[in-house]
Amino acid sequence: MVSATPDQPVSGRSVRFSSLSKTYGPVTAVKPMDLTVQPGEFLSFLGPSGSGKTTTLMMLAGFESPSTGRILVGDTDITAMPPARRNIGMVFQNYALFPHMTVRQNVAFPLRMRGIAASEQARMVDEMLDTVGLGELAERFPTQLSGGQQQRVALARAIVFRPPVLLMDEPLSALDKYLRSRLQIEIKRIQRELGITVVYVTHDQDEAMTMSDRICVMRDGGIAQIGAPETLYQAPADEFVAGFLGESNMFTRPVKGYADGRLTIDMASEDLVLPASRAPAAASVKLAVRPEHLSFHADAAGIATVRDVTYVGDHRRYDIALDDGTMLVAKKQETDGLTPLAPGARVALDWPAGRIRAFSDGVALQ
């Protein structure tokens, strides 16, 4: 078994899926997938329940056998390797701590299983407990810890033996929002310091956006889109990604024409011209624009009416109805001296061409 000492630098390894799939009888849980996670990268699988993200993680961990394809960590094919021999760290949703062991004993457990000398175990455990901020709680038992502290113990146990790859299966879902936010930052800090490759599973969009170098959005067992958080948010490849990642206004408008890579759309009060790589398949397109990108101003001759206004601390949320019945949401940051509009106000909309995504047959035209 490969092991490391505190003096050895941690170097994350690449993870490669080659034609990886999983079927259960007639049901395809994961469609054939080709994907490479770079050394030291933090990649998150994000998707709704049943999208295949956890099954993919379980195949990487060795708890599920692929129906087709291979899994390589670095240059080593681990497809048929037992979980205990993969030298991969894992943090579970339910912590999976040993209740009869102290914090120190829990963290030391994987070192003991690897046959590391007791004196070396003590050094490595102390170092790791300091890294996760639990040095003063080393002699407590899991039942004497908060949920956040227990999750830190689980993280310390998963990385104390310096694995080149760490798997995390919705590890923060049982925590409250404040603790989740704090641990997201801490996990990312530790990952960067140690250089570990992390493959993370979550259904929380904000969590994926905050922590990931890249996000793999999954749907119905396949990859819908993979890329940096900014890319997925600003340039979703299809309607599913646009609607699933963050909040989007999605509505249909008629097309007036397409020529020379430019799409002209009828926006009632004016025409909107967008770049497009191809002509739409129908006489109308689906448009998506984020609430924070939708601008408006008071205008008695406008084509919309403010229906409701909600104060949300750093911004106000406006529910706006177009005269044709289309409902939109806009977010305006709070600004000193700016008088918020009231329900019933007539407004004109300023369509941000560079922030609007057009879709035809569910696929982006840009």
Average of per-residue pLDDT values in the chain: 92
Stronger pLDDT, 95 or 354, i.e. the higher one: 354
- Is residue 7 over pLDDT 50? no
For the segment 39-56, the average pLDDT, to the nearest whole number, is 96
Order of all β-strands in the sheet with 68-73:
27-37, 15-24, 68-73, 76-77
- Report the CATH architecture of 15-236: 3-Layer(aba) Sandwich (3.40)
For the segment 47-74, the average pLDDT, to the nearest whole number, is 96
User: For position 347, what pLDDT does the model report?
Assistant: 96
User: For position 337, what pLDDT does the model report?
Assistant: 65
Give the separation between CA 139 and CA 5, rounded to whole angstroms. Answer: 23
Q: Where in the chain is the domain with CATH 2.40.50.140?
A: 247-364
Give the separation between CA 212 and CA 39, rounded to whole angstroms. Answer: 14
- Is residue 5 over pLDDT 70? no
User: For position 95, what pLDDT does the model report?
Assistant: 78
CATH 3.10.129.10 assigned to domain 247-364? The reply is: no
Q: Where in the chain is the domain with CATH 3.40.50.300?
A: 15-236
- Record the pTM: 0.90
For the segment 335-345, the average pLDDT, to the nearest whole number, is 84
- Is residue 345 over pLDDT 70? yes
Q: What is the DSSP string of 276-343?
A: -SS--SSSEEEEEE-GGG-EEEE-TT-SEEEEEEEE-SSEEEEEEEETTS-EEEEEEE--TTPPPP-T
User: For position 336, what pLDDT does the model report?
Assistant: 62
Give the separation between CA 51 and CA 57, rounded to whole angstroms. Answer: 12
Distances (CA, A) of 218 to 37, 208, 242, 244, 325: 15, 13, 13, 10, 33
Render pLDDT for 103-155 as a digit per residue (tens, 0 to 9): 999 999 999 999 999 999 999 999 999 888 888 999 999 999 988 899 889 99
- Is residue 2 over pLDDT 70? no
For the segment 82-91, the average pLDDT, to the nearest whole number, is 93
Render pLDDT for 206-261 as a digit per residue (tens, 0 to 9): 999 999 999 999 999 999 999 999 999 999 999 999 999 989 999 999 999 999 99
